[in-house]
A = this chain, B = another copy of it.
Amino acid sequence: MSQRIEQPPSLVQLAVNVLLRMMSLGELKPGDRVIENRLTQELGISRPPLREALRVLEQQGMITQIPRKGAIVTNLTLHDVYEIYTLRREVERIAVDLGVPVSDPVRLERVRAALLRLEEAAQAGDHVGVIEGGYEYHAAVIGLSGHRRLEDAYRSLHLQLVLCMAMNRRVREPKEDLLGDAARHRRLLEVIETGDRKAVHEAIITHGDRAFLINIENEIGGHTPESLEWLRLIREEEGLGL
C-alpha cells in the first residue's frame, strides 16, 4: 500500500495559485493595484505569506513591485507580447531539437495522457478543461526534451500570456471549435511519433494561437521597432493563410 498522507500545502503556494486563478479569470487585470491588506482579507491569510506569494509572482513577471509604493498586476506592452511570443517559439524549437525523436517512452506517455484529457474535455464542451489540457499537452511536448529549465521557462511564458489574453475579450468568447483543436493536437502527436524533427517543427508553426494578436497594437501601448516589425511579419504570414 503506497497510501501516502497528504501534506497541506503552504499558504504561500495556495496564495500563488489563487492569485494566478484570479488573473486568468480577469478578477485581477493588468494595471490593477494589489493592496496587501485587502487581499489578506479576501484570502483569509496574514500578510507574510501573501507577501511571499507576491514575490514569487514578481519573479514570474506577473506582478510588478515598486518600492514603498506597492504592487500592480504587470501591464504588458506590445514589446512584452513580442518578447513572450518570440521566446516561447524558440523554447518550443529547442525542445523539439532536443526531444525528437523521443528517446524515453515515459515522456511520450505523458503527452498521450494530456491529449486524452484534452480530447475528453473537448467532447464534454469544457472550455476551461480544454485550455488547461492544452497547456499540459504543450508542457509535455516541451518535456520530451528532458529539460526541466526549458519547461519552467515555457510555463513562465505561458502564464504571462494568460495574463495578456485575459485582457482580450476575443479569447473570453471561446467559440472556436474544441474538437478541431483537439484533432490538431492529435495530429501533432502523430508527427512526433514518426520522429521526423523537421516535420514536427512545421506542424508546430501551423499550430499557432495568434488569433488574438489581430488588433492588439491598438489595445496596448509600448510599441518598439522590434515589436512592430515582428507584428508586421506575423500579419504577412497570417495573410498568406498560414
Contact = CB atoms under 8 A, between A and B. Distances in A.
Interface residues of A, number: 32
Nearest to A225: B103
Interface in A87-111: 87, 90, 94, 98, 103
A204 interface: no
Interface stretch (A112-120, A143-151, A164-172, A232-240): A143-151
A149 B83 contact: yes
A98 to B, nearest CB: 7
A141 to B, nearest CB: 16
A56 interface: yes
Stoichiometry (number of copies): 2
A9 interface: yes
State the main secondary structure of chain A at its contact with B. helix
B12 A148 contact: no
A94 B85 CA distance: 13
Contacts of A224: 146
Contacts of A48: 48, 51
Contacts of A7: 67-68
A102 to B, nearest CB: 12
Given A148-B83, A153-B153, A98 B55 contact: no
Contact of A56 (B12, B59, B67, B98): B59
A190 interface: no
A148 B68 CA distance: 24
A59 B56 CA distance: 7
A226 B84 CA distance: 27
Nearest to A227: B146
Given A52-B55, A55-B59, 18 more contacts: A7-B68, A12-B55, A55-B55, A55-B56, A56-B59, A59-B59, A59-B60, A61-B149, A84-B149, A87-B94, A87-B147, A87-B149, A87-B150, A87-B153, A98-B226, A146-B224, A147-B226, A153-B153
Interface of A: 7, 9-10, 12, 48, 51-52, 55-56, 59-61, 67-68, 83-84, 86-87, 90, 94, 98, 103, 146-150, 153, 157, 224-226
